[in-house]
Homo-oligomer: A and B are copies of this chain.
Amino acid sequence: MQKTFQIKTTRHSDMVDITSKLEEWIYESGVEEGILVVTSMHTTAGITVNENADPDVKTDMLRRLDEIYPWNHVKDLHAEGNTAAHLKTSTVGHAQTLIVSEGKLLLGTWQGVYFCEFDGPRDRNYQVKLIAAE
């Protein structure tokens, strides 16, 4: 089973929690056991799993990523000027593979799934594929 999700990001850099969107769809699918691949369809936006409780974690993460990969870099050649966003995407990953168990994502207490915008705001989309397997 497969689905396209659309998302409208509202900031230049952001981590948007998509866990409940994914879980609703798994529930509708009726699949109890398997794996789920979630993939950004972009080269300046990725997917990661990280803390779902204190919003300061994502603020800190986005700011530190920006320090490591500053937006402006005198040596960058790419004319669009968003090399930093490409690097952040390959660092966190354009996609993640998640375990589905008992009809839900198998996540730790503090884990959430995030769509990571690194060059927004934009209209984005991500795809999911669910492989059912005992």
Contacts and interface: CB of A to CB of B under 8 A. Distances in A.
Contacts of A108: 40-43
Nearest to A39: B99
Contact of A60 (B49, B77, B96): B77
A121 B45 CA distance: 30
A2 to B, nearest CB: 6
Interface of A: 1-2, 33-35, 37, 39-43, 48-51, 54, 56-57, 59-61, 63-65, 68-69, 73, 75-80, 83-84, 86-87, 89-99, 101, 106-111, 127, 129, 131-134
Q: Please give the count of copies of this chain that the complex contains.
A: 3
Closest 3 CB pairs of A and B: A41-B108, A56-B77, A60-B83
Contacts of A79: 54, 56
B39 A56 contact: no
Given A43-B111, A77-B56, A107-B41, A48 B90 contact: yes
